Chains A and B, each alone.
Chain A
Amino acid sequence: MGRFVARRLLQMIPVFLGTTFLIFMMVRILPGDPVAAMWGDKAPDPAQLAAFTHKLGLDLPWYEQYFDYMGKLFTGNFGETMAGRQVIDVISEALPVTIRLALMAFAIEIVFGVGIGLLAGLRRGKFADKSTLVFTLILISIPVPVLGYLFQTFFADQLKWVTPTVQDSMNLGQLLLPAVVLGSLSLAYVARLSRTSIVENIRADYIRTATAKGLPRRKIIGTHLLRNSMIPVVTFLGTDLGALMGGAIVTEGIFNVKGVGNALFRAIGQKEGATVVGFVVVLVIVYLVASLIVDLLYAVLDPRIRYA
């Protein structure tokens, strides 16, 4: 177990270096000069443009810029935005908002997704199962922006339960609607996955044995059926948490949530390399840790799995 974790942690280093390098290069090859873009459609003053480019170090060859950036990164310095703010400040403003939003969406996914999946799986072929199929199909087929605008129009404009956009991005109550929108697609996947898994396992030998030896139904479902059926669901949830943390650009835009998606969108638009790479560094770590936790959870869920 310990060795497994250690090995996985070591594997993270090349993955981390590779992704940051790729993103660093991708931001650089975006067309257009980020410094000239600060002038918008007006022609930049050549002398000022040159001075600004020099100040930002963008006149250096790419490898020097990269090593310079990585060197600072390892000392905990995420660099500065073009406006002269510390990137770490920008990240620490956006991340708490996204953590709240992502965890809420995540909780909605788990509770409702697994709940609906369990219900459908236990009543295979019955009305509950069929209606789950229809419901999840609808959710999967509606694009997120459509769902967002739909909810916004219905709950805010028609019913007036909430304000159309989030007024305070740290307020959990106000984040509920965007979280529902954000979680709905994955909710449908989770429901489908757990339903399939449960239908498969309910006919497995160990369930029949458990039933035959007279275990109470609640115990059969809780400890045997559900636990064994969760492996594919956990795999999905693990990567999904990473995706949620990466920020939902569309959902955050519709509801004006000031999270990671919003900040990343702005940074990409302004071709602000330091900010984009800074966020990606944090997100890569989140992804890697999430997938490590998923792997460790396998062993918890299925005692047959052991990590040497």
Chain B
Amino acid sequence: MRGASQAKWVVAAVAVALAATACGSGSSSSEGGAANAAGTFSYQSTEPQNPLQPANAMEVGGGRIIKTLFKGLVDYDPANGQLRNQVADKIETTDAQNYTVTLKSGWTFHDGTPVTAASFVDAWNWAANTKNNQINSDWFSDIAGYDAVHPEKGDPATDKMSGLKVVDDTHFTIALTGPVSYFQYKLGYTAFSPLPKAFFTDPAAYGQKPVGNGPYKFVSWEHNQAITVASFDKYAGTDKPKNGGIVFKNYSQAEAAYKDLVSDNLDVLDQVDPADLASYKNDLGDRAVDQAQGAIQNISFAMYQDGWKGVDKAKVRQGLSMAIDRDTITKTVLNGSRQAADSWVAPGAMGYKAGTCGEFCKYDPAKAKQLVTDGGGVPNNKVTITYNADGGHKEWVDAVCNSIRQATGVECVGDAKPDFKTARDVIKKKQVPSMMRTGWVQDYPLNANFLRDVYGTGAAANDAGYSSADFDKFAAEADKATSVEKTAELYQQAEAQLAKDMPAIPLWYYKTTAGFSKKVQNVKYDSFGDPVFTQVEVKK
């Protein structure tokens, strides 16, 4: 499951990934002075948990560094979330199951060796192999022959996936186990990066001193202190760095990083610590950043309980959603660190459509009460929200409950479980009595990821146990579509079904609340909450 729980890990999980999407409120310095193309800047980071190998970075510390050092076949345009080709010249498919990849020529690794079809195929085969202990090894599970290198038990029988075939230096083919129309979107994830030949001779040593093909090359790693990367002058991608390099400075406490940013000892911030949230816009002025991320917080209904079964109960669920005063809670209880949601997909993901939740996500106590009554009310006139007490959720759960109680007269209490794992166990075993806190952090910025993986019948993260023939029908059609645009459009129809059934109440989107120093400009963040490193300009 990919539910968002603790704020810390939400950020971490978000950071896992790559670059993406809409910078609506993306900040740009108003001054716009001349930039020094060789200037370096520092960024708030943490010590990578694992050696720096592309498929081995799930947390923010390593993930962001990998992202600067490597570039895969495709990536996401940080401005609009659109997929764009990088190492790939084109990726062709007729059935969404068999893909032919053509590479551009001219790409080289930082050690000068060329990036070829084998660089990708070998890297993926290696990463998917259970023996190599890569955290992201299951990202390759769509590829035919994955079972052979990644068996459920025991040692892999082979070290090659049958679905990957090198045709020549610039061509290779990918066969999947079934059609996945948005497979290209997945390819933007750093786990799909190519690896140079040198990697395979000593992967462990390589992990301390990685050689990639990305916009930046590795310079040094002072453990627990800093990692330095410098711009790579032979970088062949479209996003050439506008600066000379980055120093990823380690901070164990966000407060310390914030203090350093305010005093210009740190240039770009990851996240403002909770204690400074209330004042950071004052402190930083137009250097403060505040924009939505590709992550959403929901309250899901335990659809498997009798209380929620029956067609009329959808009205009750819609009523409860309308009883929540999202605007007030995000502003007060959450200090403006969240943005009220009006759909099940976070803005910035391709296929996001504003207002798919419609009036049901707008606060209207009178209508809420009416709907709950029309739908026959809830059993014992009482609902509970199951959540984990270790993630800082108590405050808003209580606020949501107050809002529901006042608007509808339905008694609502938080059902706190001591920690994340305990809460997940209850949810996984489908033993939630009434409602539960759920969340989702995008794996890739496409609406399918927010819908298919969360609300599809039997989906791994379908905690609500929701099952709708209509939703599944649209999703299945969407998955068979041959273009990503078509997929996104069809998924919007599937999303419309959610408004009718309301298996989960969208609450709010996570936000990037960050900032930058007086020494840099043009700092923008993507929907994963990462700064667009290559675009940062260091002032002269």
Binding site for B on A (CB under 8 A): 31-32, 38-43, 45-48, 50-52, 55, 82-85, 89-90, 93-94, 152, 156-157, 160, 163-165, 167, 169, 252-256, 258, 262-263, 265-266, 270
CB distance from B227 to the nearest CB of A (A): 13
Do residues A48 and B130 form an inter-chain contact, with CB atoms below 8 A? yes
Do residues B265 and A165 form an inter-chain contact, with CB atoms below 8 A? yes
Between A55, A90, A165, A265, the greatest number of chain B beta carbons within 10 A of the residue's beta carbon is seen for: A165
CB distance from B344 to the nearest CB of A (A): 19
Interface residues of B: mostly helix, strand, loop or mixed?
loop
Chain B window 130-143, contacts with chain A (Cβ cutoff 8 Å), 1 for yes, 0 for no: 11011101100000
Say yes or no: is B25 at the interface (Cβ < 8 Å to chain A).
no
Do residues B130 and A38 form an inter-chain contact, with CB atoms below 8 A? no
Say yes or no: is B366 at the interface (Cβ < 8 Å to chain A).
no
Binding site for A on B (CB under 8 A): 1-6, 9-10, 12-13, 47-51, 58-59, 130-131, 133-135, 137-138, 150-153, 204, 207, 223-225, 250-253, 255-257, 259-260, 262-263, 265, 419-421, 441, 460
A255 and B256 in contact, given A41-B5, A157-B263, A165-B265 (Cβ under 8 angstroms)? yes
Do residues A165 and B13 form an inter-chain contact, with CB atoms below 8 A? no
Do residues B420 and A164 form an inter-chain contact, with CB atoms below 8 A? no
Q: B47: which of A32, A157, A253, A266 is its contact (CB, 8 Å)?
A: A266
Please report the C-alpha to C-alpha distance between residue A160 and residue B1 in the assembled complex, in whole angstroms: 47
Please report the C-alpha to C-alpha distance between residue A164 and residue B263 in the assembled complex, in whole angstroms: 7
Do residues B138 and A40 form an inter-chain contact, with CB atoms below 8 A? no
Please report the C-alpha to C-alpha distance between residue A52 and residue B56 in the assembled complex, in whole angstroms: 12
Q: A51: which of B130, B256, B259 is its contact (CB, 8 Å)?
A: B130
Q: A47: which of B4, B130, B223 is its contact (CB, 8 Å)?
A: B130
Do residues B223 and A84 form an inter-chain contact, with CB atoms below 8 A? no
Do residues B138 and A45 form an inter-chain contact, with CB atoms below 8 A? yes
Please report the C-alpha to C-alpha distance between residue A255 and residue B1 in the assembled complex, in whole angstroms: 36
Do residues A42 and B13 form an inter-chain contact, with CB atoms below 8 A? yes
Do residues B207 and A41 form an inter-chain contact, with CB atoms below 8 A? no
Please report the C-alpha to C-alpha distance between residue A167 and residue B257 in the assembled complex, in whole angstroms: 11
Contacts of B260 in A (CB 8 A): 163-165, 256
Instruction: Apart from A32-B419, A82-B50, list 16 A-B contacts with CB within 8 A.
Output: A31-B421, A39-B135, A42-B58, A43-B460, A47-B153, A51-B133, A83-B50, A160-B263, A164-B256, A253-B256, A256-B253, A258-B224, A262-B224, A263-B224, A265-B252, A266-B47
Contacts of A169 in B (CB 8 A): 225
CB distance from A276 to the nearest CB of B (A): 15
CB distance from B64 to the nearest CB of A (A): 15
Contacts of B4 in A (CB 8 A): 41
Please report the C-alpha to C-alpha distance between residue A32 and residue B137 in the assembled complex, in whole angstroms: 22
Chain A minimum-CB-distance residue to B3: A41
CB distance from A154 to the nearest CB of B (A): 13
Chain B minimum-CB-distance residue to A169: B225
24 A-B pairs in the complex with CB atoms less than 8 angstroms apart:
A31-B419, A38-B135, A40-B12, A41-B4, A41-B13, A41-B441, A43-B2, A45-B137, A47-B150, A47-B152, A48-B130, A48-B134, A48-B135, A48-B138, A51-B130, A83-B48, A83-B51, A85-B223, A94-B224, A163-B265, A252-B252, A255-B256, A258-B250, A266-B47
